[in-house]
Amino acid sequence: MRKLTMILATAMVATMLPAMAVSAEDEVISVGFAQVGHESDWRTASTKSCQDVFSEENGYDLKFVDCDNDEAAQKEAVRSFIEQEVDYIIIDPIIATGWDTVLTECEDAGIPVIVIDRTIDDSDKYVSWVGSNFKTEGQAAAEWLKAYAEKEGIDELNILTISGSTGSSAQIGRSDGFNEVAEENGWNLIDEQTGDFTEAGGQEVMENYCKSYEGQFNVVVCQNDNEAFGAMTAMDNAGVTYGPGNDVILISYDACTAGLEDVAAGKITADFECNPLAAPFVEDVIKTLAAGEEPEKEVYMIEHWYALPEQIVDFEIDGVPQEMTEVTDEVIEAQY
Ligand code: GYE
């Protein structure tokens, strides 16, 4: 409900209802959330985080739309939130560009927009963004690979990448961060095709890779865990071994529970976290706005780089030493 309508409605019922009911009605904050879809474990954790925080018990009316990775549907969802006169709009942008028109509509309607996870790169008409530095994640994976290959005495790196959804800031950042380091070090980037952040996509791309590049690769980079699950099925079927001590170094991103279980099982060689639990920080932004104060424009999530002890090596990103975290049962238990 929009603020003005809410005040009027409250004033009208105030004469008729006991004070308790008025204040309960007054406190409900409506939030529209245009979620990317349901493509991955990461996405499930992100959705749950928002549903937990913006619950009825916490005083929210959450209007949740799963946009099924459809850019047009996502813009439609945002417009439907404007029509419903919600108090706040949360967007996790499927792709990074093409946002200025709809964000201008939100601005004209006086509804604050909070962007989470992926970035909007061609408009700044939102109050805050809460998410991860995807380029740093890509650099971390590559700098780890460099240090690990040195330790293992592997001097030729022939790399296949299964990228995320093309044009999403998560894909762009991870590819840029990784590929810059790869090029500096003269590694052989054989191919990069999208698996759309899904298990089925990862499997399909890897099946093609196993046929086209048989015996020619020793590193597979999957831009999320679900793609890695699919890639593992394809490699199993093609008789390619992966994980510590095997044919292929398998790198993944997200580090959700099932991904870390595969690290512990010696299948994924290292997993670079992307933290999906943004909702509590989004609520802080909403509370700051409600108090009439200015929230931070950018809020970064904290993330860890995971491996088993034998695969933990020292590395730096732009001169900053990085800590790696050993995957243990407790760590898996605490993950999302
Ligand atoms: O890595 C992937 C999800 O935008 C960071 O989207 C997110 C990515 C995440 O589908 O699993």
pTM beyond 0.75: the answer is yes
In this structure, the answer to whether residues 128 and 177 fall within a common structural domain is no
- The answer to whether the CB of 271 is under 6 A from ligand 1 is no
- The answer to whether the CB of 170 is under 6 A from ligand 1 is yes
In this structure, the answer to whether residues 148 and 249 fall within a common structural domain is yes
In this structure, the answer to whether residues 175 and 94 fall within a common structural domain is no
How many Å separate Cα 330 from the centre of its chain? 23
In this structure, the answer to whether residues 74 and 158 fall within a common structural domain is no
In this structure, the answer to whether residues 159 and 237 fall within a common structural domain is yes
**Predicted pLDDT at 27:** 82
- Cα 256 to ligand 1 centre (Å): 11
- Residue 262, pLDDT > 60, answer yes
- The answer to whether the CB of 135 is under 6 A from ligand 1 is no
- Cα 224 to ligand 1 centre (Å): 7
Distance CA 316, CA 197 (A): 27
- Residue 9, pLDDT > 50, answer no
Average pLDDT over residues 280-304: 98
Residue nearest to atom 7 of ligand 1 (CA): 170
Which atom number of ligand 1 is nearest to the Cα of residue 134?
5
Cα 175 to Cα 43, 139, 182, 269, 331: the distances in Å are 20, 9, 10, 19, 27
In this structure, the answer to whether residues 178 and 265 fall within a common structural domain is yes
- The answer to whether the CB of 260 is under 6 A from ligand 1 is no
- The answer to whether the CB of 253 is under 6 A from ligand 1 is yes
Q: 167-209: per-residue pLDDT in tens?
A: 999 999 999 999 999 999 999 999 999 999 999 999 999 999 9
pLDDT above 70 as % of the chain? 92
Look at the block and give the residue holding tokens 């200015």. 294
Confidence of residue 294 (pLDDT cuts 50, 70, 90): very high
In this structure, the answer to whether residues 160 and 309 fall within a common structural domain is yes
In this structure, the answer to whether residues 139 and 127 fall within a common structural domain is no
CATH number of the domain within which 243 lies: 3.40.50.2300
The total number of structural domains in the chain stands at 2
In this structure, the answer to whether residues 144 and 191 fall within a common structural domain is yes
In this structure, the answer to whether residues 16 and 55 fall within a common structural domain is yes
- Cα 17 to ligand 1 centre (Å): 47
| Domain with 209 in it | 134-274+305-334
In this structure, the answer to whether residues 209 and 251 fall within a common structural domain is yes
Which atom number of ligand 1 is nearest to the Cα of residue 169?
4
In this structure, the answer to whether residues 110 and 171 fall within a common structural domain is no
Confidence of residue 26 (pLDDT cuts 50, 70, 90): low
